[in-house]
Amino acid sequence: MNLRQAAIGAAAIDSGAIVVFSAIGRASHDEGILGPGGAGLATTASPFLTGAALGWVIARAWRRPCDWRRTGVIVWASTLVGGMALRAVYGQGVQVSFVIVAGTVLAVLLVGWRVASGWIARRRGLKG
């Protein structure tokens, strides 16, 4: 796998993780996936996806997409801070308990897969 493929895969995993996080959140509040007007999941996920995209630019994630320290932590922090800031701008909830839960879950999802992939690569003797 080359670096371009790794970056595309990492971006897909990050995006998928954020969409899953958003879907679980909506389901836990009995909001349904589509919600009123049919844009529920998109409305919930978009602030976090935007924050993640900003994190990718800040970290230059395409250079080291699977590095949990140089990329994962920055993408996670940007997803959380950017997502919460945009939620506040859009008039969505940003209660302290939600920030704590979101921060924890997003860390597990966005940093966790990178830690796991690095561990697997080291076990197999691969660089990256």
pLDDT digits (tens, 9 = 90+) for 28-38: 877 766 665 55
Taking the C-alpha atoms of residue 65 and residue 58, their distance in angstroms, rounded to an integer, is: 12
Helix (H, G, I), strand (E, B) or coil at 32: coil
Residue 52 has pLDDT above 90, yes or no: yes
Q: Is residue 128 domain-resident?
A: no
pLDDT digits (tens, 9 = 90+) for 85-112: 999 999 988 999 999 999 999 999 999 9
Mean pLDDT, to the nearest integer, of 63-87? 97
Q: What is the span of the domain harbouring residue 17? A: 3-123
Mean pLDDT, to the nearest integer, of 18-24? 94
Q: Is residue 51 domain-resident?
A: yes
CB of 87 within 8 A of CB of 31?
Answer: no
Following DSSP, what letter does each residue of 68-127 receive, concatenated? IIIIIHHHHHHHHHHHHHHHHHTT----HHHHHHHHHHHHHHHTHHHHHHHHHHHHTT--
Q: Is residue 30 domain-resident?
A: yes
Length of the chain (residues): 128
Q: Is residue 8 domain-resident?
A: yes
Q: Is residue 7 domain-resident?
A: yes
User: Into how many domains does the chain fold?
Assistant: 1
Helix (H, G, I), strand (E, B) or coil at 128: coil
